């Protein structure tokens, strides 16, 4: 089936199509670009026939980000078009015929499919010459996604008291456009340990991807991470990462790794083996099967896609969810 990646807003799609995620990684911080544009570019590079458009075609699949559901609905896609919504960190796009989720919490393999987020483009792995010595402990991401206790002077002082340096490669989400040049998310060359514990809001733990873990594996850096669904889905061994449900547990994990070179080395070697499962090539293959085989097979199997206009469909789904008492997913 024809496959179109949808971006609204009147952007220069020809210019976007010339971007290189590894070179222009700062252009892919927004979810719409990270999921839709980046996927289009990588699949096109892999030889998958795909288009990038600001209007829906007359047929085939249309892949869109949940934040652009309203913009897409206003354009009134033809009834024969199968809408593939990428939920990312948002609520379900109610106009979608099929959904792509960034972890498997709500995936069912019929209408909802889990696809891992792409690893950090342009990633620079840790310098092997640093050995197994822990000195620089880092967080890479938005400040809102970091536990307040890890943003406090007490955390920095705790590390400093043990000869460790805290590297907070972060800005507030609202400042991503103005301060993005201060970020260096792909660069792990002088990072010895990644620590990423979210604020204590359990709603955050079910929606997020496992990107920080995958980036750590690819970078050759052990990780201390929170008790999140996406991380636990990937976990096969205690060497995959150290889990911390509190700042106190994060402190213990940092001290453990700093004091145990054998454990550090084992986690790096294990991460190197696990990274192959979630490389860019592996994820491109997952997308290719999903858009080239799985969804077309279901869309072409006589499944009713849109017997109702999109606004009415969304309203009825929303009402049904409220009446049944089902939480937003």
pLDDT at 315: 55
| Residue 197 to residue 150: CA distance in whole angstroms | 8
Average confidence score pLDDT of the chain: 90
Please name the residue that has the structure tokens 């948002």: 90
pLDDT (average), residues 293-311: 69
The vertex-95 CA angle with 93 and 98, nearest 5°, equals 75
Confidence tier at 321 by pLDDT (50, 70, 90): low
**Cβ-proximal residues to 273 (8 Å cutoff; 6+ apart), any chain:** none
- Of 15-29, 196-210, 282-296, 300-314, the one with minimum mean pLDDT is 300-314
Q: List, in order, residues 6 or more apart from 207 with CB less than 8 Å away.
A: 89, 102, 103, 105
Architecture of domain 128-278: 3-Layer(aba) Sandwich (3.40)
- Looking at the chain, which residues constitute the CATH 3.40.50.2000 domain(s)? 128-278
Longest dimension (CA), the chain: 65
The strand pairing partners of 171, in sequence order, are: 142
Q: Which residues contact 192 (CB under 8 A, 6 or more apart)?
A: 126, 130, 133, 134, 135, 136, 137, 221
What percentage of the chain reaches a pLDDT higher than 90? 79
CB 229 within 8 A of CB 284: no
Say how far apart CA 264 and CA 260 lie, in whole Å: 6
Task: Give 60's DSSP letter.
Answer: S
Which range, of 15-24, 92-101, 316-325, averages the lowest pLDDT?
A: 316-325
300: confidence class by pLDDT, cuts 50, 70, 90? confident
Query: To which H or E segment does residue 114 belong?
Result: strand 112-114
Helix%, strand%, coil% for the chain, nearest 5: 45, 15, 40
Query: Which pLDDT belongs to residue 205?
Result: 75
pLDDT of residue 81: 93
The position carrying tokens 């700042």 is 247
- Local confidence band at 317 (pLDDT 50, 70, 90 cut-offs): low
């Amino acid at each position: 089936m024809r496959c179109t990646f949808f971006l609204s807003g009147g952007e220069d799609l020809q210019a976007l199509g010339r971007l290189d995620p590894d070179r222009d990684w700062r252009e892919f911080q927004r979810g719409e670009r990270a999921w839709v544009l980046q996927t289009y570019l990588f699949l096109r590079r892999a030889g998958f026939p795909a288009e990038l458009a600001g209007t829906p075609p007359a047929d085939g699949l249309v892949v869109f980000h949940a934040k652009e559901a309203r913009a897409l609905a206003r354009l009134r896609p033809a009834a024969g078009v199968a809408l593939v919504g990428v939920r990312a960190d948002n609520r379900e796009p109610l106009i979608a015929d099929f959904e792509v989720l960034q972890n498997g919490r709500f995936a069912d393999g019929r209408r909802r499919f889990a696809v891992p987020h792409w690893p950090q483009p342009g990633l620079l792995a840790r310098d092997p010459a640093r050995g197994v010595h822990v000195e620089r402990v880092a967080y890479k991401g938005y400040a809102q996604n970091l536990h307040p206790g890890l943003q406090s002077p007490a955390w920095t002082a705790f590390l400093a008291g043990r000869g460790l340096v805290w590297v907070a490669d972060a800005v507030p989400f609202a400042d991503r456009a103005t301060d993005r040049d201060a970020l260096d998310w792909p660069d792990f060359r002088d990072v010895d340990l990644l620590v990423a514990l979210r604020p204590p809001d359990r709603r955050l733990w079910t929606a997020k991807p496992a990107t920080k873990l995958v980036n750590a594996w690819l970078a050759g850096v052990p990780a201390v991470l929170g008790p999140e669904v996406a991380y636990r889905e990937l976990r096969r061994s205690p060497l995959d990462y150290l889990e911390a449900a509190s700042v106190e547990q994060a402190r213990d994990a940092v001290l453990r790794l700093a004091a145990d070179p054998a454990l550090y080395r084992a986690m790096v070697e294990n991460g190197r083996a696990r990274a192959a499962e979630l490389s860019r090539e592996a994820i491109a293959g997952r997308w290719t099967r999903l858009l080239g085989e799985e969804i077309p097979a279901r869309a072409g199997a006589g499944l009713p896609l849109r017997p109702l206009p999109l606004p009415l469909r969304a309203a009825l789904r929303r009402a049904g969810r409220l009446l049944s008492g089902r939480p937003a997913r």
